[in-house]
């Protein structure tokens, strides 16, 4: 059968429509839910069993485990779901995809979800014309669903028309006489079909048609169903290619889960097939080995039982699966000297509202990096070994370069998001994050200056007195308290951060008062001849630098709380 360039473009266009529909729908849901999105998802996936239920309901609604797993990968990419939560949802998605087989087997036709597309577009169009943001977002959600359904339908109709080429299927009969090798052959065929069709539901429909017409038997149809479970993981892995390391781990966990299921099923395959045949015979339905019309029902039982058993067997091992994928795919951002930002990605997974949450997480990580950099300064003060001191100096220098680069990357990313359609609240949050990143970069500059001051002090063989050291560490303690409050506020809402402003103000006041007292005592000590002039000079420089960091942290707290945002 020929497959022209036009056919290829039609297939690619169908896939593009499917992905665009998914993106539009997801962005509409995000805008509609706003800040409630995270709490809704957290409630739905509060434990692994709720996660399984969520995945089941989502896939039953969309009628595609590929669509639901790609959504899950998107949510993990944005940090809305953890890896543990996502695996539960994926397990549920595998069970949810079995509903298609039952619809075909019991009703005799596949549910035409694309028939809902035009009514949904009719509903969405007036809503998109509304000025109210909430109604507009609802219209965008409906339009996304409509395009998603149309894309799924076009995907299934734009592939080579296997239905009208029975000769292609009849050729499969020659592959059924090779024992265990035939099982592996049909397993591979089921995997390949699902990869080509990009829909496990479409593959299941084709398998049921083939078995119903008697082209292949129950056993080989079941092998193709197992292959479909492997093939359906490819879509999520393709989606994760443009995602961050967390999205890639989710897709890998999906693959491991399905492959493990197929492995243990192959061990008990013949026993399982015989068990279903025996059950159907004694229940009066008829043997699928003898009656081809009963094979679709038998495959539906096989598909459902396999996915439920696989979930029941592996749900207790989710934590071990997480450890395994962490080991296979370690985070490049585990250390702060990471070559790339962890939570940012490119491609169609970049969804505006979810990207705001991604930016929030990366901004928090940027702030944590600045605190880590600051804490190299006390270490440099107490370090006596020249080699260790040099390493600390190099680390501060390297971190200063990282803060400059990360500030540029985050700001560039925030500007890109701000060009998209966003809710007013999200736009305001982006503005505040840009200010936060600018302030954090200043902390990096101050820390670098402090390291050069300490390096110069060491070369001149100037030493702090025990009293000066004690006071320095008292100041470091105050600044670290300010850092901790800032990081705590970054995880909270604007309203909660505003309630914490008095505490931040009090800390800032203490830092300023400490600096002022030190200045006076330094002058007194010099006049009395208690301390050396050079020692007092360097001491005062470090104290003043700490006070500058305190001011910057207070500016960040104000930005988080939505106060004095430029």
Query: Are 73 and 222 part of one and the same domain?
Result: yes
- Report yes or no on 346 lying in a domain: no
Point out the least confidently predicted range of 10-14, 22-26, 108-112. 108-112
Task: Report which listed range, 220-224, 391-395, 491-495, is most confident.
Answer: 391-395
Domain total for the chain? 2
Do 544 and 413 have their domain in common? yes
Confidence at 112, pLDDT banded by 50, 70, 90: low
| Position 1 confidence tier, pLDDT thresholds 50, 70, 90 | very low
The domain containing residue 34 runs over which residues?
A: 5-328
Residues 318, 213 share a domain? yes
428 and 493 inside one domain: yes
Q: Distance (Å, rounded) from C-alpha 246 to C-alpha 76?
A: 6
Q: Give the DSSP letter string of 321-352.
A: HHHHHHHHS--TTSSSS-SS-SS---STT--H
Q: Which residues contact 231 (CB under 8 A, 6 or more apart)?
A: 190, 191, 192, 193, 194, 195, 200, 203
Q: Give the pLDDT score at 61.
A: 60
Is the residue at 16 inside a domain?
yes
In the DSSP assignment, the letter for residue 11 is: H
The mean per-residue pLDDT over the stretch 279-289 comes to 80
359 and 297 in one domain? no
Instruction: Evaluate whether residue 342 is within a structural domain.
Output: no
| Final residue in a domain of this structure, among 312, 328, 344 | 328
b/e string for 186-195 if b means 16 or more Cβ within 10 A? bbebbbebbb
Please tell me whether residue 371 adopts helix, strand or coil conformation.
helix
The residue among 328, 360, 391 that closes a domain is: 328
CATH of the domain at 554: 1.20.58.220
Residue 340 counted as domain residue: no
**Residue 51 clears pLDDT 80, i.e. is over it:** no
Exposed/middle/buried for residue 433 (C-beta within 10 Å: 0-12, 13-18, 19+) = buried
In this structure, is residue 343 part of a structural domain? Answer: no
Answer yes or no: do 279 and 359 share one domain.
no
Residue 389 lies in a domain: yes
Residue 214's pLDDT is: 66
pLDDT digits (tens, 9 = 90+) for 393-447: 898 888 888 888 878 877 777 777 666 666 667 777 778 888 888 888 899 999 9
Domain identity same for 399 and 321:
no
- Helix residue spans in 200-317 (DSSP H): 200-212, 218-231, 233-240, 245-267, 269-282, 295-314
CA distance 42 to 36: 10
pLDDT score, position 108: 47
pLDDT value at 249 more than 80? yes
Res 377: pLDDT: 92
The reply to whether 114 and 247 lie within a common domain is yes
316 and 363 in a common domain: no
Nearest 5°: the CA angle 53, 56, 62 is 140
Whole-angstrom Cα distance, residue 46 to residue 81?
10
Domain annotation covers residue 337: no
The verdict on 154 and 201 lying in the same domain is yes
Q: Is residue 336 part of a domain?
A: no
Instruction: Quote the mean pLDDT of the chain.
Output: 77
Would you state the pLDDT for residue 136? 81
Both 381 and 253 in one domain: the answer is no
My answer on whether 122 and 253 are in the same domain is yes
Write the DSSP string, 490-508. HTS-HHHHHHTHHHHHHHH
What is the structure's pLDDT at 244? Answer: 66
pLDDT at 294 over 80: no
Q: Is the pLDDT of residue 23 over 90?
A: no
């Amino acid at each position: 059968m020929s497959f022209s360039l036009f056919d290829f473009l039609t297939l690619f266009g169908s896939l593009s429509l499917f992905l665009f529909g998914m993106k539009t729908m997801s962005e509409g849901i995000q805008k509609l839910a706003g800040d409630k999105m995270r709490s809704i998802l957290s409630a739905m996936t509060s434990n692994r069993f709720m996660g399984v239920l969520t995945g089941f309901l989502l896939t039953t609604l969309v009628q595609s485990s590929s669509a639901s797993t790609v959504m899950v990968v998107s949510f993990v990419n944005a940090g809305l779901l953890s890896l543990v939560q996502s695996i539960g949802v994926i397990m549920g998605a595998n069970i949810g995809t079995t509903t298609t087989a039952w619809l075909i087997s019991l009703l005799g036709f596949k549910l035409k979800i694309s028939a809902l597309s035009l009514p949904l577009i009719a509903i969405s169009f007036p809503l998109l014309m509304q000025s109210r943001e909430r109604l507009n977002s609802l219209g965008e959600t409906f339009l996304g669903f409509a395009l998603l359904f149309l894309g799924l339908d076009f995907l299934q109709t734009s592939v080579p028309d296997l239905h009208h080429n029975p000769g292609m299927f009849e050729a499969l009969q020659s592959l059924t006489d090779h024992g265990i090798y035939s099982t592996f052959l049909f397993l591979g065929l089921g995997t390949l079909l699902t990869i080509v069709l990009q829909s496990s539901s479409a593959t299941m429909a084709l398998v049921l048609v083939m078995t119903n017409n008697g082209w292949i038997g129950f056993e080989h149809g079941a092998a193709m169903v197992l292959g479909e479970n492997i093939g359906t993981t490819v879509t999520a892995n393709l989606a994760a290619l443009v995602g961050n390391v967390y999205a890639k781990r989710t897709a890998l966990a999906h693959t491991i889960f399905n492959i493990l299921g197929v492995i243990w099923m192959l061990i008990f395959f013949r026993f399982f097939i015989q068990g279903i045949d025996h059950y159907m015979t004694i229940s009066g339905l008829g043997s699928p080995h003898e009656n081809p019309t009963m094979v679709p029902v038998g495959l539906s039982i096989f598909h459902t039982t396999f996915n439920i058993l696989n979930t029941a067997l592996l749900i207790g091992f989710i934590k071990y699966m997480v450890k395994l994928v962490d080991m296979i795919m370690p985070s490049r951002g585990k250390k702060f000297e990471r070559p790339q930002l962890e939570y940012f990605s490119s491609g169609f997974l970049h969804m505006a509202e979810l990207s705001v949450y991604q930016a929030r997480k990366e901004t928090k990580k940027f702030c944590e990096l600045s605190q880590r950099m600051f804490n190299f300064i006390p270490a440099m003060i107490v370090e006596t070994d020249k080699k260790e001191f040099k390493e600390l100096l190099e680390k501060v220098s390297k971190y200063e370069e990282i803060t400059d680069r990360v500030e540029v990357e985050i700001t560039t990313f925030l500007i890109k998001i701000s060009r998209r359609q966003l809710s007013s609240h999200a736009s305001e949050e982006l503005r505040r994050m840009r200010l936060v990143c600018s302030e954090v970069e200043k902390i990096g500059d101050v820390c670098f200056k402090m390291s050069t001051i300490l390096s110069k002090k060491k070369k001149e063989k100037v030493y702090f007195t025990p009293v000066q050291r004690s006071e320095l560490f008292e100041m470091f303690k105050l600044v670290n308290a300010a850092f901790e409050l800032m990081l705590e506020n970054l995880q909270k809402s604007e309203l909660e951060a505003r309630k914490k402003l008095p505490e931040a103000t009090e800390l800032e006041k203490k830092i300023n008062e400490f600096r002022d007292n030190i200045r006076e005592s330094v002058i007194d000590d010099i006049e009395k001849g208690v301390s050396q002039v050079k020692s007092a000079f360097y001491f005062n420089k470090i104290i003043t630098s700490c006070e500058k960091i305190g001011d910057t942290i207070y500016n960040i707290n104000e930005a988080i709380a939505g106060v004095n945002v430029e």
